[in-house]
Amino acid sequence: MFLFRGQPTTKLLYDKRRFVNKWGIMAGKKILVVDDEPNILKLVSFILASKGYAVIEASGGAEGITKAKAEKPDLIILDVMMPKMDGFEAAKKLKSDPATRDIPILMLSSKAQFEDKMKGIDSGAMDYITKPFEKDELLQKIDEFLES
Amino acid sequence: MKKLTPHKDSEDIFGVLYETGKLINSTLDIDTILKNIVEIMSVHFKSGDFSFLVLEGDRLLLKAALNHPRWGDSNYFIPLGKGITGTVAATGQPLNVGDVRRDKRYIGIRPKMLSELAVPVKINGKVVGVFNLESPDINSFKEQDLKLLTALADQTAVAIKNARLYKSYADNVKRLSNLYESGKAINSSLQFDRILKALLETSAKELNYDSIAILLMSNGRLYAKAGLGFTNNEIASYSAAIGEGVCGNVAETGKPLIIKDVSKCNFYISQSSRTKSEMAIPIKYEGKTIGVYNVESNELDSFDEDDLLFISALAEQAAIAIKNAELFKEIESFSEVLQKKVGEATAELKTANEELQHLNKVKTDFLSIVSHELRTPMTSIVGYVSLLRDGECGPINQQQKEFLQIVHDESMRLYRLLSDLLDVQKIEAKKMIYIFKDFDFKSFLEKYSKEVQRECSAKSLQFNLKLPSKVPTIKADEDKIKQVMMNLVSNALKFTKKGSIKIELSVLPRHLQIQVSDSGIGVSEENQKLLFEKFSQVNMEASREAGGTGLGLAITKSLVEAHGGKIWMESKPGHGSKFVFTISKNIQ
C-alpha cells in the first residue's frame, strides 16, 4: 500500500464527488469521522473537507453513535482503538440499530493484524484501512463506497 | 594267594607301580585310566577277582572289574557302610579279611569267595572309591598285597584327580570364557554374581573344604563378596585389611599360601574355631592382586600343590571376568551419571527454553505494541506532510516539495521497518496466520498490474505482463501473495533506473510460477545467496540506499514456502535480475 504513493486520478474524481441538491446548491456528501486522536481527526476531516465532503467529527464511540443517528451521514469513518467504546463495539451498535444500519462504515485503524481486519469486517465494516494511510487510498475507497 | 601274587619281593612292587604310574599318567581320561588299571590287574592278579568301585552319593558303583559276575549290570551297587567294601568306603581304612564267613560285615554277594582285600581310593582325604580283591582261598592276602594295592590306589587317586582336575579345569575355563563372552550383553551386576558363583561352585567340587570365600579388594581392604559355608551375614561382615591374617598376607605379597596347620601359623587369624588348614590364592589381573580366594578345612593338610595350581588357573580366568564385570559396572554407573547429567541439562535447557519463550513473547508483544503505538504519530506525520507536499494548504516551491517528499518517504520507511520486524517475529514464532481461500491468480495480476503500470509510468519504465490464457484457481492467502508481489515489484522498481519491468505467470504441472524481472543493476553471484537472509549485509547496504528494510526478501521467502513453493533469483550484475517463485496448486 505504501508502494503506490503517486498521484493518481484525484482531479478526475473531484467533480464526481459533488452533486447538486434540489435547491441547486453544490453540497458534498456527508461523512462522519470518529477518532479519539485530535490530530488524526483534524487530518481526516481536512482531507475530506478539501475534497468537498461535508464532515462531522466525533471524538469517541458513543459520540459517534449519537451523531450518526442525528446527522444520518452517507459514510462513517471509524477508528478502532478508542477508550470506553472501541470501534468494533461502535460498529456493532451502529449495525444493530435500524436507524444507522445502512450507513457504510470504513474502519481506519492502527491495528494491522489480520485478525483485527477480520474482526472489523465481522463487526459490520465495509472495509478496513490501516494507519498510516495514504490520503489517495482513503479518498479512493470513500469514492468506491459512495458510488455504489 | 600264589596264583594271584606272582611277584613277592619289594622290587616287584616297585616294578608294578612304575608300570602302573607310567600307564595312568600318560592319559588324563578317566575311562582310559580305569581300562589301564584293569589291564595291569589282569597281568599281576591273573585269575583273581578284582573290582574297582566308585563312590557316588551313598552308593558304590562298579566302574572296572576283572572276573566280576555282576560286571556290566548298571543296577548293581553296594550301599555305603554295607559289606567289606562299603565299610572301607565309610571309614576310609583298608580291610584285609582272611575268612569272610567269620566277619559279620560281610554281606555275601559272592558265595565262593572266602578272603577279601579292600583299600580306599582317596583324594584330599576324601574316599572316592574302593579297590577290591577277592579270593576263593582263606587268608589269601598278605601285607605285601595290601601295600601294593594301597600304592596302586594312591596312584590311581592321583591319576583320577589329575583327570578330574583337567576335565574340571577345561570345563571351567570354557564356562568362564563363555561367561566372559556372554557377559558383554548381560547386566553387569548380575554377571558379577554369576562369575563368583561359578568360581565357587566349580572349585568346591575339587576341594575338601569347610568354607570358601572370595574376597575382593576395595579401597585398600578385602571384602568377602561370595562364599560357601557361610551365612549371608557372615559374608557381609567378612573383611580383612591388607597384611592382616592369611588372606591379607596373600593380598599383600601377591603369592599364594597353603597353611597345613593353622595352629602353627603365627599370622593366622581365626574365622572359625574348627579350621585346621587353609589355602589362600591371589586373584590377579594384569599382575595386580584384585582379590583373594580363600578356602578353609576342618582337617589338617587338606590342600596340596595340585589344588593350588587348579584354583590359580581358575582364579586367573575369573579375574578377567571379574575385571570385565567391574568395567561394565563402571560403564553402567558412568552412563547413569551421564544420563543424570543429560537429564539435568535437559531440565535446565527446558527452563531456559521456557524463559526464552517467555522473552520471545514479551518481545513479540513489545513489538506489536510499539508498532501499534507508533502508527498514530506516523499517521499524523505522513498525513500532514502529504497535504503540505501536495500543496493542499497553499503553494510551495519545487525544493520544498522535494524535501517534504523525503520526510514522507523516510517516515514510511521507519514504519515499514517496524512492520517487517513484526512479520519476522511472527514467522519465527510460527504465529503467522494464513487464510487459504480460492484464489484466481490471473485476475489478481490483471488488477494488480494496473498499480504497477502506474508506478512504472511514473519512473518512465516499460511494463510488460504476460499471462497464460487459462490459469486454474488455487488456494492461497491473497494478502500474503500481494505482500510477496509488492516486495518483488518494489525491489524491481527500486533498482531499475531505466528499461523495463516484466511480470510473467506460467502454469507448471504442480505449481504456478511467477517471474518478476527487471533491467536494473543486478546482483553478483555471491550476494545472490545472501539475499534471502535476514539483515544480510548485501541486503542492508542495498536496502539502505533504496529505502528498504533488509527483511523483505526473508519474509517473502517464508510466505512463499508457506504456500508450498520456492523462491530463487537469477541475475548478472548490470544485466538486471529475475526473481522467480512458485506456489503449490494443491494447498488444502
**Digit-coded pLDDT (tens) for B32-41:** 777 777 777 7
Facing residue for B387 by CB, picked from A7, A46, A131: A46
Each residue of B134-146: pLDDT tens digit? 888 888 888 888 8
Contacts for B579 with CB less than 8 Å, ≥ 6 apart: B488, B491, B492, B515, B516, B517, B567, B568, B569
CB contact under 8 A, B412 and A112: no
Q: B189 pLDDT band (50/70/90 cuts)?
A: very low
Report the C-alpha dihedral over residues A93, A99, A103, A106, rounded to 10 degrees: -20
pLDDT tens per residue, range B244-298:
888 899 999 989 999 999 888 888 887 777 888 999 999 888 888 989 999 999 8
Q: Which of A7-11, B209-213, B536-540 has the lowest mean pLDDT?
A: A7-11
- Cis amide linkage into residue B136, ω under 30° from 0: no
- With an 8 Å Cβ cutoff, is B14 touching chain A? no
The residue in chain B having the minimum alpha-carbon distance to the alpha carbon of residue A118 is: B435
Question: Range with the lowest mean pLDDT among A14-18, B76-80, B155-159?
Answer: A14-18
Q: How far is A99 from chain B (nearest CA, A)?
A: 31
Task: Count other Cβ atoms within 10 Å, centred on residue B417.
Answer: 16
Evaluated on CA atoms B233, B235, B236, B239, the torsion sign reads positive
Q: Does B316 touch chain A (CB under 8 A)?
A: no
The Cα of B334 is separated from the nearest Cα of chain A by a number of Å equal to: 53
What is the average pLDDT value for chain B, to the nearest integer?
80
The answer to whether B489 contacts A47, with C-beta atoms less than 8 Å apart, is no
Would you say the pTM of this structure is higher than 0.80?
A: no
User: Between A44, A111, A115, which is nearest B433 by CB?
Assistant: A115
CB contacts of A50 in chain B (<8 Å) are 387, 392
List of chain B residues whose C-beta atoms are within 8 Å of the C-beta of residue A111? 372
Averaged pLDDT for residues B172-190:
51
d(CA B164, CA B29): 8
Are the beta carbons of A133 and B387 separated by less than 8 Å?
Answer: no
Q: Has residue B162 got a pLDDT over 60?
A: yes
- B383–A133 C-beta distance less than 8 A: yes
Look at residue A95 and tell me whether its pLDDT is greater than 60: yes
Read off the pLDDT of residues B195-249 as tens digits, 9 standing for 90 and up: 778 778 777 777 788 889 989 888 889 999 888 888 888 888 888 888 888 889 9
Is A112's CB within 8 Å of B375's CB? yes
* A33 has a pLDDT exceeding 90: yes
Which residues have a Cβ under 8 Å from the Cβ of A70 and sit 6 or more positions away?
none
Q: ipTM, 2 decimals?
A: 0.74
- Tell me which residue in B415, B433, B489 faces A132 most closely, judged by beta carbons: B415
Side by side, which strands form the sheet with B59-66?
B77-79, B59-66, B49-56, B126-135, B115-123, B95-97
Tell me if chain B has a CB within 8 Å of the CB of A50.
yes
Nearest to A43 among B375, B384, B411 (CB): B384
Q: Chain B within 8 Å of A11 (Cβ-Cβ)?
A: no
